[in-house]
Structure 1
Amino acid sequence: MNIEPFQISVSDVEIDDLRRRLRDSRWASATPSESWQQGTDTTWLRELVKYWADSFDWRAAERGLNQQPQFMADVNGQRVHFVHRRGVGPRPYPVVITHGWPGSFFEFHALADRLCDPAAFGADPNDAFDVVIPSLPGFAFSPAPATPGTSAFQVADLWASLMRGLGYERFGAQGGDLGAGVSVALALRHSPVVDGIHLNFLPGSYEPAIDAADSLLTVAEQNFLREKGEWAALEGGYAHMHSTRPRTLAASLNDSPAGLAAWISEKFRAWSDCEGVIERRFSKDELLTNLSLYWYTQSIGTALQMYWENRLQPMRFATGQRVLPPVGFARFPKEINHPPRVWLERTFNVAQWTDMPRGGHFAAMEEPELLAADIRSFFRHFRQ
């Protein structure tokens, strides 16, 4: 496997073009409504767009990103961008961490700090990790697959090959959002080398087999499925669009940075534990670093493609089928779904379950300390 060092380098021409587009934004008129009631609040968005055009320092963000050891690898014919950070401790344990949408590899920088060098944060150096953070195919600097069919299952195959190419015979996996699906697929398809997986989200397409002899769902499961359906009806329009008409949406989002900001920023507000105020959890610079990665790589369209592929290859299990490696699950209170433990136990060997006191969908950015501690606790069992 060929691996080369990688550094981000956006041209001045691209930066100037983005600023021009932002300043020339054509704002939609709308009938009066409560703030954020019908989507992204226009007043807030205009402030963010102005900041992006006039104050945001991409070069500073770029320098920060390039402080991370980044690489490009040719994995089974697919180019993969990834961060690879070595742990500071006597025997670092390898873990591959996978992001989702609308995130990127950027969202894990604070988490990686705590996992790679736990002693720097008052934790045990024996809990150090070697952390591998790949960009999903079609996201940021990982090119889109050349052919259709790359769902979470195929990405899991890529990650298993990547970790083997990096010299790791056995490893753990962690993820939320789309990354949770990849982590589950790793455990399902590569159990001989995957010790265990840690999740902070349950894939939306996950459906355990319900045996005829055990067909009655618990009250907790019935409530979860009802709440899941209610959420999908009111909040899930984005996912339906991504999974059925991604190219129609991509034409707009790839052309308008204001539109891209509206589409993505709304999710950071709606899915986080911010009480409706985004800046309580994410600074403008953090939001715009993530947005700029999508913009400068023109990857929003190819990123949406994975929703299409996952719809065609959902995470559904047959009778008797189980995920063999142990699972640790961190359930954050403002996550977009809240499965009961029994729902996971129908398919997974749940070895650790934690109800977190705070945090939402973007746990690695919102609560890196809580998430890091839970990951350390779970993988401590596999360090022999």
Structure 2
Amino acid sequence: MSDPHSYLTRRDVLVAAAATGAASLFPSPSLAAAAGDQIRPFTISFPPEDVADLRRRVAATRWPDKETVTDTTQGVQLATARKLAQYWASDYDWSKCEAQLKALPNFVTEIDGLDIHFIHVRSKHDKALPVIITHGWPGSIIEQIKIIAPLTDPTAHGGSAADAFDVVIPSLPGYGFSGKPTAPGWTPVRIAKAWATLMQRLGYTKYVAQGGDWGNAVTELMAVQEPPGLLGIHTNMAATVPADISKALAAGGPPPAGLSPDEKRAWDQLDDFYKNGLGYAIEMNNRPQTLYGIVDSPVGLAAWMLDHDIRSYELIAGVFDGKSEGLTRDDILDNVTLYWLTNTPISSARLYWDNAHFPTGGFFDPRGIKIPVAVSAFPDEIYQAPQSWAQKAYPKLIHYNRLPKGGHFAAWEQPAAFSAELRTSFRPLRQQI
């Protein structure tokens, strides 16, 4: 493959490394001549007054009455929101997350009229396999930070040099540090095309892709589009739901007869999500601009983001009750704070509107992918895709594994297991690079 640093001059790289403190992430001593200014180093910095204003707003939250039930059926519970706010206003330190982001090589490049931000970390190992990894909502690049080192430096994290990846992590349009679309139409189809352009621009002639949530939609659509060089994909939120299952779910059940135990469990998970967990998506599908409250109230934003799916909510609520499974309080607030400081609550929500108004099929419907696919099925995802459904949805299924632990934010919650899954999944494709 060509040198992925060929888009920058030596001076460009040294300036970017000095700005981010990341010179060690550029191990190659020789760099090709610049190919114009298509890719620019990006420095992350927020004014201290913005962080101070955030803390002030959290402390000044106007609280509602307590819910009138003892469970989660009315939404994010007052006790959880108060514990989150107390920690956010008094003990949370954003500067730690900002320093972590600055220590990574960040770049932007204009694609299809929009600036796309991405993290790009190249492995020190030869023949590293390039992978582009896409987050979803209410996630961000924060989700993937924990897997960068295990993927790029596997020998320091229980793997071998033959498992090494070059890692590209873009921010979706309207999310994080990417540009905010000013016109409709930035759908997963368009984003998938943009990601292929990005990988080509980085000089990668052969690569793989990974995603969950919206990241899965983008990654699967890349597979459908089959851009030159895309060898295969990995998903941790596979779209495998058979047509008869989708039809029965839309009609309110009951499930079709003859489901296996794994299929019945997936049915139950989907049935619960469709009946109780889609409130946020319905609003953002239809009226994202109405969500002014989550741009004006940090606690309002946090509650909106926490109420994604019940198993993720239970995990996060447990963290603020003193449990430490999967995520920390800082993990959660790093992600929410990034949304707040970049003022992206509504620009990110418009992805739902765009997808609803330029539809490409159901979110979990098989898309007819013909290239190799690997599936990691985590038990607390919106649904744990059964192997039988995955085999039907992906004719070239090269890996399937049911994990014992992990949910919707798998890379964030279980980075070691997630990294191991990517290594295993893509080994059959490495001989092609």
Same fold (TM over 0.5): yes
Mapped contact 1:332–1:359 kept (Cα < 8 A)? yes
Aligned 1:2-21 pairs, distance under 5 A:
2-21=38-57
1:131–1:243 distance in 2 versus 1, CA, 3 Å: same
TM superposition shift of 1:64:
1.2
Deviation at 1:267, TM superposition (A): 3.7
Identity of aligned residues (%): 36
Do structure 1's residue 252 and structure 2's residue 293 form an aligned pair? yes
SS in 2 for 1:10: coil
Q: Specify whether residues 291 and 169 from structure 1 end up closer, same or farther in structure 2 by C-alpha distance, changes over 3 A only.
A: same
Alpha-carbon spacing, 1:31–1:360, altered in 2? closer, same or farther (3 Å) = closer
The alpha carbon displacement at 1:7 in A equals 1.7
For 1:261, which of 299, 302, 317 is the aligned residue?
A: 302
Q: Distance in 1 between matches of 2:300 and 2:375?
A: 34
8 Å CA contact retained: 1:88, 1:125: no
Q: CA deviation at 1:91?
A: 1.1
Contact 1:270 1:276 in 2 (8 A): no
What is the match of residue 347 of structure 1? 393
2:375 to 329, 353, 374: 329
2:327 aligns with one of 277, 282, 302: 282
How far, CA to CA, are the matches of 2:406 and 2:41 in structure 1? 34
- How does 1:363-382 map onto structure 2 within 5 Å? 363-382=410-429
Contact 1:207/1:315 (8 A) holds in 2: no
Q: In 1, distance between residues paired with 2:43 and 2:107?
A: 8
> 1:271: Cα distance to partner?
2.1
CA distance in 1, matches of 2:313, 2:56: 31
1:294-318 Cα distance to aligned partner (Å, 9 max, x none):
001110101111112222323459x
Residue of structure 2 equivalent to 1:197? 233
Does the alignment pair 1:310 with 2:351?
no
Pick closer, same or farther for the CA change 1:293–1:275 going to 2, 3 Å.
Answer: closer
CA distance in structure 1 between the aligned counterparts of 2:317 and 2:336, rounded to whole angstroms: 20
Matched with 2:277 is 235
Secondary structure at the aligned position of 2:423 is classed as: helix
Q: How does 1:28-107 map to 2 (within 5 A)?
A: 28-34=64-70, 36-107=72-143
* Alpha-carbon contact 2:107-2:117 (below 8 Å) kept: yes
Query: RMSD over aligned Cα, in angstroms?
Result: 2.4
Q: Write the distance in 1 (CA, Å) between the matches of 2:316 and 2:64.
A: 26
**Is 357-366 or 226-235 further displaced after alignment?**
226-235
Q: Does 1:360 align with 2:407?
A: yes
Q: CA deviation at 1:337?
A: 1.0
What's the secondary structure of 1:79's corresponding residue?
Answer: strand
Partner of 1:159, secondary structure, is: helix
2:295–2:345 contact (8 Å) kept in structure 1: yes
1:209 CA displacement = 6.5
- Kept after mapping to 2: 8 A contact 1:40/1:266: yes
- Secondary structure in 1 matching 2:340: helix
CA displacement, residues 268-325 of structure 1 (integer Å, 9 cap, x when unaligned):
87327839613422211111111111001110101111112222323459x9973121
- TM-score of the two chains, using structure 2 as the length reference: 0.81
Structure 1, gaps ≥5 residues long? 211-215
SS in 2 for 1:40: coil
User: Quick check: 1:272–1:335 contact (8 Å CA) kept in 2?
Assistant: no
Q: Following the alignment from structure 2 to structure 1, what is the Cα–Cα distance between the partners of residues 120 and 306?
A: 28
CA distance in 2, matches of 1:320, 1:265: 28
Q: Secondary structure at the match of 2:119?
A: strand
* Regions of 4+ moved over 6 Å: none
C-alpha separation in 2, matches of 1:224 and 1:62: 38
Q: TM-score, normalised by structure 1?
A: 0.91
Quick check: 2:269–2:382 contact (8 Å CA) kept in 1?
no
What per-residue deviation string (whole Å, max 9, x for no partner) do you get for residues 42-69 of structure 1? 1221122122122211122211111111
CA–CA separation in structure 2 for the residues paired with 1:229 and 1:314: 22
Q: What residue number does 2:172 align with?
A: 136
Tell me how far 1:38 sits from its aligned partner.
2.1
Between the aligned partners of 2:85 and 2:38, the Cα distance in structure 1 is 40
Change (3 A) 1:45 1:132: same
In structure 2, the CA distance between the partners of 1:256 and 1:321, relative to structure 1 (3 Å rule), is: closer
How far apart, CA to CA, are the structure 1 residues paired with 2:272 and 2:209?
31
1:37 Cα deviation (Å)? Answer: 4.1
Aligned pair in 2 of structure 1 residues 30, 145: CA closer, same or farther (>3 Å)? same
Map Cα deviations across residues 219-263 of structure 1 (whole Å, 9 max, x no partner): 245774464233211122121122122111x21111110101111
